[in-house]
Structure 1
């Protein structure tokens, strides 16, 4: 999720719209630095939080387990399924040892039983894994909405942002339409006054009639966390 619909972006746009017409004519472009990846982890349903494995500000890696929800009776059901699967495997092994002595119908029945037990066990494994919330990408935990023992109900449980690169979100006046292309380097002045280079990854092929502007997205390297997401910037001509 980008800052496209964030309160920060909306407030800046409202401030721009509130400017006198003359001031708007001198307005270069709307510009904001946003996380390159910004994800809210949520769960569909109503579940009890078992373990929260991370803390605010902690760095996480993609696929790392960050939260586990209680499984109710699922763990016991899974243990029983594993036991039944082992029994079905042993029955199939005996059928293979007996070979031609066993009638085909009984052998087919054992094969079917084994296939059913395998599928049933896999189904429970998938259900248990669904209760494990994992980081979708590398990043930093910036929000945890629930604690262990609380109920999670159709809401965002955690927010993870990746700041290794920043997305430069620009709204540029229509007079500059078609002057940007993917792969092009552009100059951005950040809040500190420093001018940095970002690379265009998207240029809107249409103009918004209401604002008479179009969108441009660029990526700014930020491996050292030099620049701050959520701050404004400006396009340098």
Structure 2
């Protein structure tokens, strides 16, 4: 709920603020990689952990299948060793245990390498930029941008004469560009004052589940 009222010019002296996405992430791959598949579209909502892009693994899937086959062979050899019990020479048993451990580690390494080919959403949000397409070569560059608008970060520039009046958890009132007066919760108050601007920074969180408020717009802090 909010009250609509005109933006008062004198309120700018109380504190200028800016609304930004609570989470704004540029996703990228390291090294030189070929994009195999872009799994999402601009404007699509994604959830944390969802695959949004895949790289070309070349022959890696086949190597992974081979490592699994070798692991199964080592496991069967170890099972036979366990069945033989004390009949088997200790050195032979140790050799099979070592071979099994090596195959387990190799398969796990391949799993991690295959997973590296998947770019996953680090949080819920909306895809607002796709900087790479299928078949394109990436080289240490951003591939996609995802933002979360369920909450907005209110970045407030407060005059130094109000220093020490804000604490985490405190509710503050802000007025948006549309004239709406809403409450936001303080999450950080700068412990120092900027000498050049004679101001300090306060960050607050504004609930925005229905996306009523727009990131990228300005606001003012109300006394």
Name 1:92's counterpart in structure 2: 78
Tell me the equivalent position of 1:233.
219
Q: Which has the higher contact order (CA 8 A, sep 6+)?
A: 2
Q: CA deviation at 1:28?
A: 3.5
Q: CA deviation at 1:233?
A: 0.6
User: Does 1:132 find its partner at 2:132?
Assistant: no
Q: C-alpha offsets along residues 61-117 of structure 1, whole Å, 9 cap, x if unaligned?
A: 101111111112211111111111011011111111111111010001000000000
> How well do the aligned residues superpose, as a CA RMSD in angstroms?
1.4
CA distance in structure 1 between the partners assigned to 2:63 and 2:197 by the alignment: 58
Q: TM-score scaled by structure 2?
A: 0.93
5 Å-filtered alignment, 1:1-237, equals 27-237=13-223
Which deviations, in whole Å up to 9, do the C-alpha atoms of 1:37-60 show, x marking residues without a partner?
Answer: 000101111100011111000001
**Aligned-residue offset at 1:211:** 1.2
Q: What is the aligned length?
A: 214
SS in 1 for 2:192: coil
Long gaps (5+) in structure 1: 1-22
Q: TM-score, normalised by structure 1?
A: 0.88
1:148-185 residue CA offsets vs partner (Å, 9 max, x unmatched) = 11111111100000000000001111111001111111
Counterpart-to-counterpart distance in 2, 1:46 and 1:211: 43
TM-aligned CA deviation for residue 210 of structure 1? 1.3
